[in-house]
Amino acid sequence: MSRWFAGLNPEQASVVAHERGPIAVLAGAGSGKTKTLVARIGRLIETGVDARRILAVTFSKKAADDMNAKIAEKGVRGARVGTWHSLCYQILRDDRTRYAEWQIDQKDRHKTIVKQAMGYKHVDWKDGDLGEVRRFLGWCKANLWGAESEEAREEARRRFPSAAPLALDVYRVVETLLEEAGLLTFDDMLVRAHEHLQDEPTRRRWAGRWLHVMQDEAQDANAAQVALADMLARDHRNYMIVGDPAQSIYGFRGSSPEYLTAFAEKWGARVVCMNRNYRCGADIVQAANGAIRPAAVRLPEDLRPELPIRGAVRLVGAADLDDEAQELAAHVEAHVEDRGAFADFCALFRTNAQSRAIEEALLSRKIPYVVIGGCIFYERKEVRDLLAYLRVAAGRDEDGEELRRCINAPFRYLGPKFVERVLEMARARRGAWTAIVQSAATQAGIQRRQLQSATEWCDMIRAAERAIQNDERPASVLGDIVRETGYLQWLERDQGEESIEDSHAANVRELVRVAGRFATVAELLDFVDANIEAAIRQRRADEQVDQVLLMSVHRSKGLEWPRVWVVGCNDGILPHAHGDPQEERRIFYVAVTRAKEELTLSYVGRLATKSGVRRVDPSPFLRDAGLLDSEPEAAE
């Protein structure tokens, strides 16, 4: 028997033995899909296929690197394994298209270009939502809809009923500005490659390079990727897709599980279901099956646990977010005291704003941790902006760095030159920042709108100073600043919301919420400073691997840990109030299936909101998972 079949189960072996024609592999969580893909590549080469004629594409660079490493371990060389973006860029570069000379947008300059297009020099869309406009543009690119297409017009009317023409104008201007800048975005890599392959001889030449096309993570494919795969595979039809419809969680980027589920009918493909789970204990698999069973799209069969362990599934009820975080930290501490490792744990959350309480709880117990895919809560831009207002008003800004941070956030036409003038005057004479700013605003060369903005900023700082002197609670002071500055509205216009996961507004609301725990602004700032210092000390000391990981569920996809704790399993958080209900269920399923030995799902009884403290219900997914019939381990 070929070495490539060693250690494979019947379903995996069936996939590896498949030699020609289309095949859809529906591979559940922990079913060994990467192992199977690698074995099939090796087996094809063993049967005489030139390795250079095998193409494998996947969703992320990490997944591509992982597959390449596993192929290399098996002694296989020559197969082309990479992301869609790397493939499309190769097509543009090797054919010496003009896009090969463009600069790749590694630093997201696209965001600045969209802001310019929406600005007064171009479309002048004063109340446009930057985040929503970028989502519109990304959606159009993912679906290959140009600015003049009827589909783009319909989408603009759906998203911006009274401002659709403005959205389409922004689309056109952005295209022009990208052209002028010679900037190639990752979305445009796919779009431009697709355009390039519209030339039939060119398409045939590229399609002829490979005799087999394999697509991993097919549940995350968008229309552009589907079209590109069709261009490369339709001549020989040796096309294999691998994916799990229950793990499709990137709908906001234009992906859809329907592309995977419709593949068999469209291509007349053979279907293999790999539903044996080699990652999770049996009880964890049972919870996952229960949670995903009501989904509209899922594997045709339940996951089957193959590990000889039951695993543990814990349900924890907590009073509020801070209590929930303390429960988590205490559990980690007890595990380590019992000779476990910090690195055994990963804490997952639906939105990044939820990390704040966990970070504080871990720091309070000197538990090392790292936030994956972001910075610590109190170092996030919007949090630092608002704290800067408080520090200036509280007299905690001797060098002017806090002034520099908040005087032009929101934008007030008080740019770097004005700030340098203020700091130069401060070096010449001491005094309150409000007096120095007011004086600087009356100097020669200052525009009227700058004087007005400087006056408004000074009035706001003075109001905050009076509130602090009157011992007003910091949540009230912060709330006034957010309201008077229109900070949330400015964030929406200037920064945009990339996704529910990365919500700037949620971080602002969380800061105001945590401020409600303190009686004075001084106490709040002391607490924040102590947390930042502790986090800095920890970063310096923790060059070690042994630390708790904190990340969003989206970041966790494709990963696994011995012990996983999913916080915020509440209706309105997971599922999120603004998310697609079906995709929210799949997000929960992804979170559950990251755990190997122990899964903890926690929920809270109350949340502090801008309208006051309110009671919240546990996530309905907990009941589907069969967990709410049991009494939570800690509840109030």
Report the distance separating Cα 247 and Cα 220, nearest Å.
8
Residue 33 counted as an annotated binding residue: yes
Report the distance separating Cα 200 and Cα 384, nearest Å.
54
Residues in Cβ contact with 150 at an 8 Å cutoff, skipping those fewer than 6 apart:
none
The residue among 514, 521, 512 whose CA lies nearest residue 358 is: 514
| Amino acid in the structure at residue 243 | G
**What's the token pair of residue 260?**
């995977």
| 257 cis-preceded (ω within 30 degrees of 0) | no
The residue among 338, 288, 281 whose CA lies nearest residue 310 is: 281
**What's the token pair of residue 90?**
């190769």
**DSSP run (H or E) holding 16:** helix 10-17
Residue 255 counted as an annotated binding residue: no
**What's the token pair of residue 388?**
């800067």
Residues in Cβ contact with 284 at an 8 Å cutoff, skipping those fewer than 6 apart:
305, 311, 313, 592, 593, 595, 596, 599
| Amino acid in the structure at residue 77 | R
Report the distance separating Cα 518 and Cα 180, nearest Å.
51
Residue 445 counted as an annotated binding residue: no
Residue 316 sits at φ, ψ, to 5 deg, of -120, 125
CA 607 to mean position of chain CA atoms: 23
Residue 138 counted as an annotated binding residue: no
Residue 34 counted as an annotated binding residue: yes
| 575 cis-preceded (ω within 30 degrees of 0) | yes
Residue 31 counted as an annotated binding residue: yes
**What's the token pair of residue 211?**
């005799």
Burial classification of residue 316, based on how many CB atoms lie within 10 Å of its CB (0-12 exposed, 13-18 middle, 19 or more buried): buried
Residue 455 counted as an annotated binding residue: no
| Amino acid in the structure at residue 239 | Y
Report the distance separating Cα 582 and Cα 495, nearest Å.
28
Cβ-count burial 562-586 (b if 16+ within 10 Å, e if not): bbbbbbbbbbbbbbbeebeebbbbb
- The C-alpha angle with vertex 529 and arms to 524 and 532, in degrees rounded to 5, equals 125
Residue 619 counted as an annotated binding residue: no
**Radius of gyration from C-alpha coordinates of the chain:** 27
Give the strand pairing for 103-104 and 183-184.
Answer: parallel
Biggest distance spanned by C-alpha atoms of the chain? 87
Residues in Cβ contact with 426 at an 8 Å cutoff, skipping those fewer than 6 apart:
400, 433, 436
Positions at the binding site for ATP: 27-34
Positions at the binding site: 27-34
